[in-house]
Amino acid sequence: MPSPAALTIYIFGATAFLAGISSLINPSSSAAQLNFPLACTPVARGNALAAIAMGLYYTLAAYQENSTFFAATVPMRLLTTAVFFSQGWSIPAIWEGAGAVITGIALLTQRRESDKNKRL
């Protein structure tokens, strides 16, 4: 069974992958959700490919229980949250921020449990 932190990364990766597929299939809808003009449809397609790749990388890291990767994602996702909020993209910002906080909590909980077990 995956660790709690790995589960958060699996979920984030799966949602990124699915969002990427959705945006690749319908890039004009994706552009509209971010208040971009239709001229930005090619950019939405590029962003979709990045989301698909990110989804694959995250699920691979979760499968490998790569806790160093998990920890590295937390500050980057919090920075992404701030940038997204500053652009007015509240739904992606909440998705990023909530995921980062939940992953951080899972990592801290796992560390405390590991330290506690070492003392026993």
SS3 of the chain: CCCHHHHHHHHHHHHHHHHHHHHHHCHHHHHHHCCCCHHHHHHHHHHHHHHHHHHHHHHHHHHCCCHHHHHHHHHHHHHHHHHHHHCCCHHHHHHHHHHHHHHHHHHHHHHHHHHHHHHC
Q: What is the pLDDT of residue 4?
A: 96
pLDDT value at 95 more than 90: yes
Would 118 be classed as within a structural domain? no
Q: What is the pLDDT of residue 115?
A: 83
Average pLDDT on 66-94 reads: 96
**pTM score, whole prediction:** 0.88
Would 78 be classed as within a structural domain? yes
Would 34 be classed as within a structural domain? yes
Q: In terms of residue numbers, what domain contains 31?
A: 4-113
Q: What is the pLDDT of residue 31?
A: 82
Q: How many domains does the chain have?
A: 1
